[in-house]
């Protein structure tokens, strides 16, 4: 079973090398595909120096996007490249160390047991979210309720970007994806739900990033919620 770990990145020099090294050690049969949006902090060059230029290591691949950048577009390009490379399973995770590679194993186990998409969830039993203060918890709780109510997504954590897909899921939804920004996280769940895909949530701990700055702010969150309404109305 060919497995590719997809990591979209933007300004992650403080985190990405540690993350890739952990994945390579824990999962010696997995490939790593980094899709970088031409990070000004030199993320791509760091990956080239530490991994790509090491001739003995051909498990790490890098795509650098210089035009039409955005989290959603990076994800779509990553899905397409993973499929072209023959991946049977695609793991998607953030590059900021908020998603611990140790949780990939139990997620893959659920894929092997028959589920189509496995989601790393902060909000089921044994899941934890170490980043949120009180206000962020309340805002996040409303957003999750809003998404589930409008889009019919049954997941407890419909904004989780830590997930594992079987190949056939991405093949069926790839041409439906339009989000250029982080909304792609929920857009994927929406289209998968409409196709009757079999989901499973696995508890994870979501860690606060130790290096770099969060990309999420109130403006992005409001745009996200507006897009939830637009996709529901069929105008997204």
Q: Which CB contacts under 8 angstroms, 24+ apart, belong to 22-26?
A: 22/101, 23/101, 23/104, 24/57, 24/59, 24/60, 26/101, 26/102, 26/104, 26/105
Arithmetic mean of pLDDT, 184-211: 93
Residue 200 pLDDT more than 70? yes
Range of the domain at 12: 3-233
Arithmetic mean of pLDDT, 207-231: 77
In which band, very low, low, confident or very high, does the pLDDT at 213 lie, cut at 50, 70 and 90? low
Residue 208 pLDDT more than 90? no
Residue 217 pLDDT more than 70? no
Arithmetic mean of pLDDT, 76-103: 98
The pLDDT, as a whole number, for residue 90 is: 98
* Residue predicted with more confidence, 217 or 108: 108
Arithmetic mean of pLDDT, 47-66: 89
The pLDDT, as a whole number, for residue 125 is: 96
What is the rounded average pLDDT for all residues in the chain?
Answer: 93
Arithmetic mean of pLDDT, 94-118: 98
Question: At 208, which CATH number?
Answer: 3.90.550.10
In which band, very low, low, confident or very high, does the pLDDT at 203 lie, cut at 50, 70 and 90? very high
pLDDT in tens, 15-35: 999 999 999 999 999 999 999
The pLDDT, as a whole number, for residue 216 is: 58
Arithmetic mean of pLDDT, 91-115: 98
Distance (Å) of CA 192 to CA 30, 36, 105, 116, 179:
24, 25, 22, 9, 15
pLDDT in tens, 115-133: 999 999 999 999 999 766 6
Considering its fold, how many domains does the chain have in total?
1
* Residue predicted with more confidence, 211 or 142: 142
In which band, very low, low, confident or very high, does the pLDDT at 215 lie, cut at 50, 70 and 90? low
pLDDT in tens, 131-159: 666 777 788 889 999 999 999 999 999 99
pTM: 0.94
Arithmetic mean of pLDDT, 83-93: 98
């Amino acid at each position: 079973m060919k497995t590719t770990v997809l990591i979209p990145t933007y300004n992650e020099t403080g985190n990405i090398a540690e993350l890739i090294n952990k994945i390579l050690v824990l999962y010696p049969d997995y490939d790593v595909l980094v899709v970088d949006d031409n990070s000004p902090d030199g993320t791509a060059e760091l990956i080239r120096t530490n991994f790509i230029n090491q001739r003995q290591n051909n498990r790490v691949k890098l795509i650098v996007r210089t035009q039409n950048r955005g989290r959603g577009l990076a994800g779509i390009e990553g899905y397409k490249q993973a499929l072209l490379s023959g991946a049977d399973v695609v793991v998607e995770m953030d590059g900021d160390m908020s998603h611990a590679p140790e949780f990939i194993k139990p997620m893959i186990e659920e894929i092997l047991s028959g589920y189509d998409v496995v989601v790393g969830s902060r909000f089921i039993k044994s899941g934890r979210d170490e980043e949120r203060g009180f206000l962020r918890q309340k805002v996040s709780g409303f957003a999750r309720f809003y998404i589930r109510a409008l889009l019919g997504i049954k997941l407890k954590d419909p904004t989780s970007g830590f997930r594992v897909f079987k190949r056939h899921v991405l093949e069926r939804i790839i041409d439906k994806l339009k989000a250029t920004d982080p909304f792609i996280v929920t857009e994927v769940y929406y289209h998968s739900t409409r196709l009757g895909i079999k989901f499973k949530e696995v508890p994870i701990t979501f860690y606060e990033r130790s290096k770099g700055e969060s990309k999420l702010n109130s403006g992005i969150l409001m745009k996200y919620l507006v897009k939830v309404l637009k996709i529901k109305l069929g105008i997204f």
